[in-house]
Amino acid sequence: AQSVAQPEDQVNVAEGNPLTVKCTYSVSGNPYLFWYVQYPNRGLQFLLKYITGDNLVKGSYGFEAEFNKSQTSFHLKKPSALVSDSALYFCAVRSRDGGATNKLIFGTGTLLAVQP
Amino acid sequence: DAEITQSPRHKITETGRQVTLACHQTWNHNNMFWYRQDLGHGLRLIHYSYGVQDTNKGEVSDGYSVSRSNTEDLPLTLESAASSQTSVYFCASSEAGNFYEQYFGPGTRLTVT
């Protein structure tokens, strides 16, 4: 069965420091992986996705993610955190249950808190 | 600009009542999804649709139903609301295909008393 794990409920980082939000996945075959961000009282916003090709994917707001097939990971990174990056981050994997579908399986989310 | 809207944004209802949450998108997307968000569970899929007259059950579909009579709308109905259905509900849509991202509405906070 497909699944996504976000091992940290919360990540704390000082403004200006690099940040990493971890995600590991379990799927059969090639994965399609996504990161979303949710600001308070808002819906989820798409950040970036990995479909194929370069293992380093660049997305919105200066975020990037590194796909590592051997470690089945897709960690979200940013070189220099901003207070405004404080939000809830979700990793997701496309469900491969047959056919041309794009159902997503979401992790439980990681709260990123950036201190000034 | 294209968008996806949900109404109402907040709803309080009593146990046993039927409730319908609206979702409307102007992206002209074929795919639409309903999720609920609960602390510790992330987002869980309730129902989804890949086009008009198509509906499918997600992982937590018991007590919910949807219908798709046009491309733009996918209303979610709680047949007989229960306190366990108190949650935040999100609608999403995407283009057809394997790898397109989903666009989310602002959410509806539902409280069942």
Residues B6-42 have pLDDT tens digits of 999 999 999 999 999 999 999 999 999 999 999 888 8
Residues A85-94 have pLDDT tens digits of 999 999 999 8
The Cα B52–Cα B104 span in angstroms is 19
Q: Which residue of B has its CA nearest to A44?
A: B104
Residues B74-112 have pLDDT tens digits of 999 999 999 999 999 999 999 887 678 899 999 999 999
pLDDT at A70: 93
pLDDT at A97: 58
pLDDT at A98: 54
Interchain proximity A43–B101, CB inside 8 Å: no
Interchain proximity B99–A104, CB inside 8 Å: no
Interchain proximity B50–A101, CB inside 8 Å: yes
Interchain proximity A103–B58, CB inside 8 Å: yes
CB B50 within 8 A of CB B31: yes
pLDDT at A101: 62
Instruction: Answer whether A111 touches B (CB < 8 Å).
Output: no
CB A38 within 8 A of CB A90: yes
Q: Which of A32, A46, A90 sits opposite B99 (nearest CB)?
A: A32
Instruction: Answer whether A42 touches B (CB < 8 Å).
Output: yes
